[in-house]
Amino acid sequence: MLRHARELLAVRSPLDAELIVSEILGSWWGHRVEGGDVERVIGEALVDHAARAATPAALALLTGIGYLGTPGQAARAERAALELMERGVPRPAWADRIGTIGHEECYASRDVYGDQDSVVCVYSYGGEERHALVVTVDRTRPSVLPGPPDGRPPAPGMVRDAWVSSKVDKVLEHSRREGRANPLMRFERLDARDTRALLRRALEFTGETPDPPVNDTFGSYHAFLRARLRALPPGGRAPQPAVHGRDRRAALAVRFLASDEAEDLSDRSAASRCVDRIIDYGCAHDFGRPLRVSPAKAEMFLLDWLPRKVLLSPSEQEAVPHVLASWVRWAGERTGLPEEGVRATLDAVWDATGKFADAYRDPTAFGLDRALVGRLLPDGELEALPRRAFALPFLSGKHRVMGRHGWIDLATLDPADPADRRVILEFEHPGAPAAHLDAHERLTVRLWDGDPPQLWETAQAMLDVGFERHDILHRLIEVLERCGGDRRALRAALGVLRHEVPPE
């Protein structure tokens, strides 16, 4: 990396220098290291290495990191750069201009569906060397509501790509021309403060996502993008999700089912359940936008979310593509989607319909009793099936046990009911003290609800390396009791637990 930094001595433009430094800092972006944060383990170590080298290339690199690095890297780099300058190491020609960046305007080229934005931010160094930073924000990846445990709202999209051009007028004219010529595209000016808030949260979402689907060159521009966002004025507000309560969702479903678009749906009962799923998906997984329709969203709903997340009856499986097509027509009319957009979305629905039957898997096809599945999934959340079966494994068959209320048929118990769930746990732990059963019950509730998701992820990782189920339950209970209500500490403790290996 220090040899690569010699290129900084050959450039005069602060923009070229920033892009070179950003490329160096991006060489480890997205990687993970054992024992700490990669930005500290590698990034801060690079700063220390450059300080020891004490060469002109090292000072140039430290100067760039002082502007583009993380707060920890920047503070170390600035101290080291001052020491090298005091020792007489020559500064690069562009050093005085690297911090003089100012913003001009921000624009967005976006599709009418709301799937993706290309945000264009124009900058210059005191009016010179104008350049455009183009950032692709993708909104097709689900952002589950509510937001992360730290209280932030869910992300209004994910940054998937970024690039820089010095041909600002050409970039803007191309975007304007596309907006005029293509009825499915729009071009508009943005408030710089709101642009900073939107891109900052979307960039955080990219960093929080394991193996994010970014462009291959994104890492090279990550530090540059982060610094350019700081150059935009603060005080803006990122888009907020339109949260729909149960009453509003029900009213939306009623209006749709009473519409002309839904008139030809033959199985009204199945249609009602299917439209509830469509609305729930839009509210919980599309930033609170149930009325938004697009080809990409339709395909993801039919071929990704439903097969993985929801248990549908045979009648619902048959009805859902037709209900979705009717919903596209109805919602498209109400959101002002151009007719070209409605037709393209309907084409995507019918193209996906044939694949939907193959993508969808009914758990009963794998030998699970439908009554059992129904008790484990009263909410129809297919994704919850394995973790609930792990938490309460004694539900299949006709187990009978002598309890306080006489002979009890476990097959008649409702695991979603706290009293019945307690009986099931007492059957699994005969003679256990009440405190021990209380701890198991608290863990069972957490696994049932998937709160937090890392709990089941850790259990799966421990199963994979050979831990026995009961041992896993006890280790999870221990972590829950130790961490209490501290969610951050719980996530950290679960991360340690999932890397343990079972004793010989």
Token pair 């500490």: residue: 489
User: What average pLDDT does range 302-314 have in this prediction?
Assistant: 84
Identify the weakest region by mean pLDDT among 32-41, 368-377, 416-425, 475-484: 368-377
| Residues 450-468, mean pLDDT to the nearest whole number | 86
Judge whether residue 11 has pLDDT over 50.
yes
- Please state which of the ranges 58-67, 133-142, 393-402 shows the lowest mean pLDDT: 393-402
Q: DSSP letters of 313-332?
A: -HHHHHHHHHHHHHHHHHHH
The whole-number pLDDT of residue 83 equals: 97
Res 397: pLDDT: 42
pLDDT band at 151 (very low <50, low <70, confident <90, very high): low
Question: How many CA atoms lie within 13 Å of 503's alpha carbon, on the beta-carbon side?
Answer: 2
- The pLDDT, as a whole number, for residue 313 is 80
pTM, two decimals, is: 0.75
Q: State the pairing for strand pair 128-138/116-125.
A: antiparallel
pLDDT band (50, 70, 90) for residue 405: very low
* Residues 357, 317 contacting (CB under 8 angstroms): yes
- Residue 429: which pLDDT band, with cuts at 50, 70 and 90? confident
Give me the residue spans of the domains in the chain: 4-97, 101-230, 246-361, 387-497
Model confidence at 106, in pLDDT bands (50, 70, 90)?
A: very high
- For the ranges 276-290, 336-350, 389-403, the maximum mean pLDDT occurs at 336-350
Q: What is the pLDDT of residue 410?
A: 64
Does 151 or 171 have the greater pLDDT score? 171
Task: Give the highest mean pLDDT range of 24-28, 242-246, 366-370.
Answer: 24-28
The stretch 470-486 carries a mean pLDDT of 91
The CA distances from residue 495 to 387, 465, 490, 502, in Å, are 18, 15, 9, 16
Task: Quote the mean pLDDT of the chain.
Answer: 89
403: pLDDT strictly greater than 60: no
Interval 462-471 mean pLDDT: 84
Q: Work out the pLDDT band at 420, boundaries 50, 70, 90.
A: confident
Lowest-confidence range among 140-154, 258-272, 365-379? 140-154
Q: What is the mean pLDDT of residues 311-329?
A: 92
Least confident segment among 3-7, 385-389, 404-408, 484-488: 404-408
- Burial status of residue 275 (CB atoms within 10 A of its CB: 0-12, 13-18, 19 or more): buried
Q: Give 354's contacts (C-beta < 8 A, 6+ positions apart).
A: none
pLDDT of 124 above 80: yes
* Residue 297 CB coordination number (10 Å): 25
User: Residue 88: left if φ>0, alpha if ψ -120 to 50, beta else—which one?
Assistant: left
Q: Which of 219-233, 310-324, 490-504 has the highest mean pLDDT?
A: 219-233
Residue 69 half-sphere exposure toward CB, CA atoms < 13 A: 24
Q: Which two tokens stand for residue 224?
A: 């540059």
Mean pLDDT of 210-237: 95
Query: Is the pLDDT score of 350 beyond 90?
Result: yes
Q: Is the pLDDT of residue 72 over 50?
A: yes
pLDDT for position 338: 96
The per-residue pLDDT for 398 is 40
Instruction: Give the H or E element holding residue 202.
Output: helix 192-208
Q: What is the pLDDT of residue 399?
A: 42
Q: Where are the alpha helices (DSSP H) in 286-369?
A: 295-300, 306-309, 314-335, 339-359
Element holding 192 (H helix, E strand): helix 192-208
Residue 190, strand partner residues: 106
